[in-house]
Amino acid sequence: IERTLSIIKPDATRRNLTGKINAKFEEGGLRIVAQKRIRLTKEQAGQFYAVHKERPFYDELCEFMSSAPVVVQVLEGENAIARNREIMGATNPADAAPGTIRAEFAESVGENSVHGSDAPETAAQEIAFFFSGIEIVG
Ligand code: GTP
Ligand code: MG
């Protein structure tokens, strides 16, 4: 059993899509074992996305991620990291497979409704960034 860090991004919380997105995770076989709604500062968003510091869209990304509340969550299941990325769909909604979260809800490559960890090491780091052990209940 594996865990991954998920974020429902500001474009989605603004449009009140938290429940519809959570239904996709649950229908896809993932269990929400931790969840909270928070508002990131631009500095916190920058720290979370530090791996993208050199990318041209970094500043825009940090502005966006701090522009409204996000819902951070830990998803658990068989191959949760890969499974979640399938459920999310491609980064650019134009390339996302039908039925995926990004195909149905994302507005653009930047405002793409969800984040999901991309590997076991980053999942562990990202979960620890937002949650303490006592907040995760499997
Ligand atoms: P995450 O799950 O959010 O990490 O998405 P990803 O792994 O599918 O994409 P990646 O890690 O390459 O990029 C991280 C995030 O940066 C994306 O989800 C987008 O929100 C944003 N991003 C990526 N490419 C672009 C771009 O070309 N323009 C803008 N504005 N944002 C981008
Ligand atoms: Mg990524």
Which helix (H) or strand (E) element contains residue 61? helix 58-65
- Give me the helix-helix angle, 18-27 and 80-88, nearest 10°: 130
| Known active-site residue 52 | no
Indicate if ipTM > 0.95. no
Q: What is the pLDDT of residues 52-91, one digit of tens each?
A: 999 999 999 999 999 999 999 999 999 999 999 999 999 9
Q: What is the pLDDT of residues 97-134, one digit of tens each?
A: 999 999 999 999 999 999 999 999 999 999 999 999 99
Q: Consult the annotation and say whether 3 binds a ligand.
A: no
Q: What's this model's pTM, rounded to 2 decimal places? A: 0.96
Whole-number pLDDT of residue 59: 97
Determine contact, residues 113/12, Cβ cutoff 8 Å.
Answer: yes
Closest-CA residue to 101 (of 91, 122, 67, 110): 91
Residue ID of nearest Cα to ligand 1 atom 1: 115
Query: How far does residue 15's CA lie from ligand 2's centre (Å)?
Result: 22
